[in-house]
Structure formats: C-alpha cells, structure tokens
Amino acid sequence: MTRLWNDPADFADEMIDGFVAAHGQHVRHVTGGVARRTRTPDGEVAIVIGGGSGHYPAFGGLVGTGLAHGAAMGNLFASPSTQQVVSVAKAAEAGAGVLFSYGNYAGDVLNFDAAQERLRAAGIPCETVAVTDDVSSAPAADRATRRGVAGDLAIFRIAAAAAEDGRVLADVAAAARRANDRTRSFGVAFSGCTLPGADAPLFEVPEGRMAVGLGIHGEPGLAIEDIPTADGLADMLVDRLLDERPDDVPDPRGARVVPILNGLGSLKHEEMFVVYRRIARRLADAGLEIVDPHVGEFCTSFDMAGTSLTLLWLDDDLAELWAHPVDTPAYRRGQPTRRPHIDDDAALDSAETITRGDTASRAAADHVMAAVECATRTIDAHVDELGRLDQVAGDGDHGIGMQRGVRAAVEAAREAHAAGAGAETTLLRSADAWSDRAGGTSGALWGVILTAIAERLGDAGTPSPDAVAEGVAAASTAVMAYGKAQPGDKTLVDALVPLADSLSTAVARGDGLPVALRASATAATDAASATADMLPRMGRARTHHEKALGTPDPGAHSLALIAEALADLFAHQED
C-alpha cells in the first residue's frame, strides 16, 4: 500500500517538485512537466514523451541526454492535459519539430493529438508514434488498438537516438514506428496497486494466484491463474512473446533481441533475476542472440507487485540506434557527450489580459460563477463514490481527476470574475483550467464541453435560454467529434446527448431555463443509470467489459450529478 502523502490531490505536483530537486543536473521544471537541463542542439528533433504519473521512471525519469527532451506529466494514472503537452513541447523544441510518443490510451491520444494540432497551427512540425506493445490488450489483427506498457522504453530510446543521429522528423518517426512494430510485451501481477489516500487497492488478486495480461494503470488482468514457479513464469512469458514475432521474423534462429524484464513496483530484483535466468536460457535455446539485457524497473504501476517481459527485435538500423549512449535520472547506458546546461527555468507564459464584459454580461457571469461553485461542491461530495465506480473496470482515478479539474476551474473563474470578465470569458477561463488540471480523458472532454457553452454566452448582453441550449448542443456534438464515442459506447456521451436533446426541446417549446434544466437533468440521470446495462466499447474499460456490466459509467454519472445540482441551484431563478 501507499503510506506517504500530504493531500492526495497534490501528490503528483509535489512528486514532480521533489524529482526536479533531486535531479536538477538532468532536468528542469517547465509548466506541465520537465525538460532536459542540457540545451537541445539547433536542428535536432525534440522527443517529447508523457503520460500519467505513478509509473516512475516513466516518464520524467527518462528525460536526459540520449533519451527524451521533455516529458509531459499528468496526474496519477491520468494523461497530461493539452496545455501541459504544448508547454513541454515548446520548452524542448529547437527548430526541427517534435516527435510525440506515449502509451496508446484514450486520454493520452486525445490530449497529445490536440497539442499536435495547436503546434502545427503555430508552424511547429509534429509527428506522433503511440506505443502499442501489450500483446494481451487486443488480438494481433488489431494491433493498432493495443495499449503501451514497458515497451515504451524501447520506442523512446530508438526515437531519441535517431534524433541525435541528425535525422529529419519524418525519418525519426519512421525509426520509432519500426521499433514499435518490432516490440512486444506481456505481463502478470500478484497484487493490485493503491493510490495515495485510497483505502483499498484498485483491484485484488486472490492469495496464491496471479492476474495475467494486466495494464500499467491497475486494470485487472484478463485471467486469474495459479502462481507458477519462477521457471514456469519465465516459460509463460517467453512462449507468449515467441508466438507473436514480427512479421518479418518467421524464424527466431539468428535474430537479435533486447529483453527487458520490468518490475511493476513491488517485485524484488532478486526474484526477477531468478526469472531472468530462465528467460535467458529459453531465448538462447530458441536460437536468439541476446543484446543488452535489462532487468529492473522501467515502467511501474505505483506499488503493484508484478512483472512484464518485453522483446525488442532488432534489425541492423535499430541495433545501431540502440547502441547510442544515454544519461537520464533513472536510466544510463554508455558515456554521452556533455552539452551546455540551461541556467534558467523556462519562463511561464504571461497571463492574458482580461477584457471586461459589459454590465449585463458581468451580471450573467455571477450565474456562471455560482454554477462552477455548485459543480465543485457536488464533485467534492461524491469524489469517493466516483472513484469506486471507476475502480470496477478502470483505474479508480475519475473522482480525484474530476476534483482536481473542478477545483482549478472554480479558482480560474473567481480570478476572471473578480477582474470584471463577462460570462463567456469567465467560463472559458474555467474550461481551460479544468482541462489543464484534471488531465486524462474526462479533463479534455469537460474542457470541450465548457468551451462550447462559453462561446454561446458572449461577453456582452444577457445570454438567452436559446443560447444556453445551443451551447450544450454544440458541446454534445464537439465531444462526439473529439472523443469519437457515440451513444451506446458507455461513456459520458450517453448522458450528454439526452441532456442536450432534452434541454433544446424544452427551450424550443418555451419553457423557462430553470424548468428546462430540470427536464434535461432528469434525462441525463436516467440515461446515466441506464449505462449500467451497457458493455463499454471505448476507453480502458473496453478490455474488461464484462467487469463493467451492472455498474454505471463514472463519466456519465458525474455529468448527471452536476446536471442535477445545477437544476436545483437555478430552480428558483427568475425567467
């Protein structure tokens, strides 16, 4: 279990502060994560990695000479926000563009893709390689949907070596994709992990048994089996990976592989060495040439007890790139060339000036402020419940992620409101802060929702009920376009669509906004409850869909809770 924390909501931020304090010779703190302390040479492609915290040394521990130029670091088990990724990329970029690489999870894809769009619009070329090494997360025929686990290290290292080799962005991306195509991982766990402040692990494994095929966010395994001997486990890992060699390696004899035996947080190195002894023998018996074997912790899952085996199948070019030296806080190989240090931390973005709204819009901003405060109280009251719902088939962080987001949103709204902002600007500032601090899929989607509504409110005049309904309808459309989910996928969309439809219908027939909000909240609540009978088709829960049956979707439920609270808040408002 996890024993040491202050406020669980501040854990990731405080962890990053301590990490930078301990490794200032390698990294510097930038908004959204860390970047190399050494200066990126002009014309070198910047490798920017990232993901949720809780996986050390991934991701900040892999920033340094010969590896990543920067890491966007989200909350525990939650993707970094779009703003964080953009900030880190700008701090790391040196004129040759940016290659993003990260594990293939829904929240990471949403936020890194959005960051890529922003940077490209600003004239900074970008490419992306999402890591898909986990053989247990999807069939071989559907490799593009697999998640990224400890194979991250292989792809990140190859990409960084290609960048240091002076290759242009397209060629760096090609090398990283080839490494991803030739990397496979498979893992097991003997116990779940416990997030700071939680009173129970995200999942439990019966004594004497192990979860087979788990993910690195505490997702339960796909099967539960008896714990074998160390040799039996080694055989299981090797057999599974030899069964799925790259297409261009029909016969393993003579092939070169880098084996990475990764500890997930609590497994002792001594135990892993016993397992690796058998792995090395099995690989040699199969006729493979072992190159640079790794045994240790490279991508963890907080305090989970478990291990995974990764095989990177080398070709001539990958072998040459793999030989490049690396020097990071958590990972070293060879003797890299020393580079000039950056003396000062990257400057924070200057605050934008707030344009005051007119008298009517500032009055409307009072209602926006009240609504955001109401949402904050609602999430604070239900944070534990939301975490328990998410724990059923996810990683249990929905409650704390929503809490981080809504608390940041209310602070940003208060600052804008105090500066005389109108309704639109107040809610836009709130949207940006929610997305940034919450991170993950829900943070990105709530940013989309609030932004769409804000853009219909304006900073002049009093927003009409029609404008509010149009904003919610636009939010519904934008979320489906952004997140790719549709009604029936068991996501937030299942509550958002009926909420938007009901609100539009009620406003169109002449109902005042309080009455319309009540009708739409009821529709959202009924729809969120109905998700209990659905099987998830999107996000992390899709790989454990049967576990989610009987439990409502946490995202849909939290949206419905906020809708009900807002309906109560405005129940006595004058039309």
Rounded to whole angstroms, the Cα distance separating 508 from 563 reads 19
Mean pLDDT of 96-115: 95
| Residue 367 annotated to the active site | no
Of 217, 294, 382, 417, catalytic: 217
Q: Which residues pair with 332 in a beta bridge?
A: 327
Give the range among 203-212, 408-417, 506-515, 540-549 with minimum mean pLDDT.
540-549
Is 0.75 topped by the overall pTM? yes
The runs of H, that is alpha helices, within 345-439 are 359-393, 398-418, 423-438
Above pLDDT 90, what percent of the chain? Answer: 78
How high is the mean pLDDT of the chain?
Answer: 92
Mean pLDDT, residues 44-68: 96
Instruction: Say if residue 348's pLDDT is above 70.
Output: no
User: Which domains does the chain carry?
Assistant: 8-333 (3.40.50.10440), 359-569 (1.25.40.340)
Q: Does residue 426 have a pLDDT over 70?
A: yes
CA distance linking residue 133 with residue 231, whole number of Å:
23
Asked if residue 392 has pLDDT above 80, the reply is: no
Q: 347 vs 400, which has greater pLDDT?
A: 400
Cα–Cα distance for residue pair 489/458, rounded to 1 Å: 33
72 contacts 50 by C-beta, under 8 angstroms: yes
Q: Is 360 helix (H, G, I), strand (E, B) or coil?
A: helix
E strand or H helix that includes residue 100: strand 98-103
pLDDT at position 422 over 60: yes
Which residue did the predictor score with more confidence, 456 or 353? 456
